[in-house]
Chains A and B, each alone.
Chain A
Amino acid sequence: MDLIFSTIQDGIFAAIASIGFGSISNAPWKTLKHCGWIAAVGHATRFLLMSLGLHIIFAVFAGAILIGYFSRTVSQRTGILFESIAFVSLLPMIPGMYAYRTMQSFISFIQSAGYAENAASIQMMSYNALMTLAIILMMAIGVMLVPKKRSL
């Protein structure tokens, strides 16, 4: 019961995040209103799967496939470009923390002295960089896997 409640909560906050970050890129309202609920579904799926113990990469992939499916449906019903719905809905899942931790560990690598400290920083840096790349790649693949439907 607790898990269901926190999944719904996660979805609601993801919707707010998607709409807000979409507005920075000047996404129109007709797109944003769809992006809100699609992002909620995608992010809540990711949260649920990660709570059940799945690795973040697979959870992101599953969420992205759902986002791709719903974006394709909305895109074919309304004539709005598919990528602009899907990419704005994916924004809450962007691994921002991994991205800037890469740079942080790069700075600690420069500052650090001694072999052990150096090795730890470089390991942190490559881990964060590769995670960022893998997650974003999985998001894009998941969304683009969804084929065009012939008719609705």
Chain B
Amino acid sequence: MRTKSQSMNNEHEFLKLFCVTITDYASSMLECGALSSTIEDSVHRISDEYGIKTDVSILPRRVLIAIWTIDQEHSYNNIGRTIKHGINISKVVELSQLASEVEATHMSISDLQEKIRSINSETRMNPNLVLVLTAMANASFCRLFGGDAIAMGIVFVATLCGFLIKQKMLKNKFDGRLTTFASAIIAAIISSCGIAYGWSETPHTALATSVLFLVPGIPFLNAMGDMLRGHHLCTVSRIAEAIITTACLSLGLCLAMLLMNIEW
């Protein structure tokens, strides 16, 4: 692999390009919610393939990259910043598969850069489909907690409305915490109809499960995953974010219960 870098006329140009590309790669992975150990592992696999020594430190919202040639003659440093887009598992999967692809095909750096760019520009799943799937998921959650068919229906409608509000607010660049708070209030108020009108046998289950689609499951699990692999700084930042989101959704639920005059 060493020959690849030597064959370029200017080793510095090569190193600079590699540094920019790998920073791009690592910060894309961090912003879409990959585990820190996954980021480190993928970055090391790619740089081994190009015959470069890379050291990566992952901070809550920054990635520090230092690269060296094997003979420690030349080096470059870079800091990657992340933009918050929310968790995107599709991107994590494709970026980690890109590392295996690099190992298998020995692609050139400009090809790698092009691939990272094309993965970053992919669109998310159809929002209407996500809306329906989430509503179905939350309705089946209600069933798992022992709700009856009418309670499931109530939760389905409540989630549909709550998640629609969330999608619209995020699209209009509202703050994430405010969005969680607002959609929790909407979902909880709609699902408290069951209690107000006596529609179901288990109206309290409907109310309690209506806001569960807002619980940040992946950030909680990522935090624990990072903790088990020794990335304690990332653990703290991820768990703080998850706790703040949970606090916002419970505040929304409590306010809705207060408005509807329901005891908890």
Where the two chains meet, the residues of A that have a C-beta atom closer than 8 Å to any C-beta of B are 9-10, 13-14, 16-28, 31, 43, 79-81, 83-84, 87-88, 90-92, 94, 96-97, 99-104, 107-108, 136-137, 139-141, 144
Contacts of B208 in A (CB 8 A): 97
Let me know if B35 is at the binding interface, CB within 8 A.
yes
When A and B form their complex, which 10 residue pairs have the shortest distance between CB atoms, in order from nearest? A20-B137, A103-B250, A140-B224, A96-B215, A100-B250, A13-B140, A94-B217, A27-B89, A16-B140, A20-B133
Query: Provided the pairs A17-B141, A24-B134, A140-B225 are in contact, do residues A80 and B93 lie with their beta carbons within 8 angstroms?
Result: yes
Query: Smallest Cβ distance from A47 to chain B, in angstroms?
Result: 8
Where the two chains meet, the residues of B that have a C-beta atom closer than 8 Å to any C-beta of A are 33-35, 38, 86-94, 96-97, 100, 124-125, 129-130, 133-138, 140-141, 143-145, 208-209, 211-213, 215, 217-218, 220-222, 224-225, 227-229, 246-247, 249-251, 253-254, 264
Partner of A21, one of B209, B211, B217: B217
Q: Contact: B225 with A83, CB < 8 Å? A: yes
Query: Smallest Cβ distance from B2 to chain A, in angstroms?
Result: 28
Contacts of A43 in B (CB 8 A): 144
Q: Contact: A87 with B212, CB < 8 Å? A: no
Contacts of B253 in A (CB 8 A): 100, 104
Question: Which of the listed residues B34, B138, B215 has the most CB atoms from chain A within 10 Å of its own CB?
Answer: B215
Look across to chain A and name the residue whose beta carbon is closest to the beta carbon of B91.
A26
Query: Smallest Cβ distance from B149 to chain A, in angstroms?
Result: 12
Question: Which of the listed residues B96, B135, B145, B227 has the most CB atoms from chain A within 10 Å of its own CB?
Answer: B96
Look across to chain A and name the residue whose beta carbon is closest to the beta carbon of B225.
A140
Q: Contact: B129 with A23, CB < 8 Å? A: yes
15 residue pairs of the A-B complex, CB under 8 angstroms, read: A9-B143, A14-B140, A17-B138, A21-B137, A22-B89, A25-B89, A79-B100, A83-B34, A83-B225, A100-B250, A104-B264, A139-B221, A140-B221, A140-B224, A140-B225
